């Protein structure tokens, strides 16, 4: 979300949306719950531009949903692992999945 004032709102929904309130962030978290941890894995799965992925990963790290861990020094490479806060977001992801399954089923003949 683009309204930074909401980060300090009395409303917990507004505060949460300032951290994960865009589609890319939610899809990155979905992929993290599916076991993806590396930049290239997220990029391949999502088809997102590298600059957008870098930005969203950084924001999720800053918000405490993901932790950046170095897995290679040469060349320097990091992976992104769910934190306790990130894992606590699982019921929200489950609810989004369940809602989407019921409210927006796949069209006949569409692939999952």
Query: Is residue 44 assigned to a domain?
Result: yes
Q: What is the CATH number of the domain that holds 29?
A: 1.10.10.10
pLDDT at 10: 73
Q: 71 or 4: which carries more pLDDT confidence? A: 71
What mean pLDDT, rounded, does the chain reach? 89
Q: What region does 81 belong to: left with phi over 0, alpha with psi -120 to 50, or beta?
A: beta
pLDDT tens track for 41-60: 999 999 999 999 999 999 99
Identify the residue whose tokens are 């769910």: 82
* Domains of the chain: total: 1
Instruction: Provide the percentage of residues in the chain whose pLDDT is more than 90.
Output: 65
What pLDDT was estimated at residue 103?
83
CB 81 within 8 A of CB 67: yes
pTM over 0.85: no
**8 belongs to a structural domain:** no
Give 7's contacts (C-beta < 8 A, 6+ positions apart). 15, 18, 19
CB 29 within 8 A of CB 89: yes
H/E element holding 68? strand 66-73
């Amino acid at each position: 979300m683009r309204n930074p004032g909401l980060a300090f709102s009395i409303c917990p929904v507004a505060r949460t949306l300032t951290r994960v309130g865009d589609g890319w962030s939610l899809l990155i978290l979905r992929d993290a719950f599916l076991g993806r941890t590396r930049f290239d894995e997220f990029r391949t799965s999502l088809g997102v531009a590298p600059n957008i992925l870098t930005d969203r990963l950084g924001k999720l790290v800053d918000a405490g949903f993901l932790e950046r861990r170095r897995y290679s020094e040469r060349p320097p490479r990091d992976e992104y692992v769910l934190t306790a806060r990130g894992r606590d977001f699982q019921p929200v992801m489950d609810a989004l999945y369940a809602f989407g399954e019921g409210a927006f089923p796949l069209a006949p003949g569409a692939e999952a």
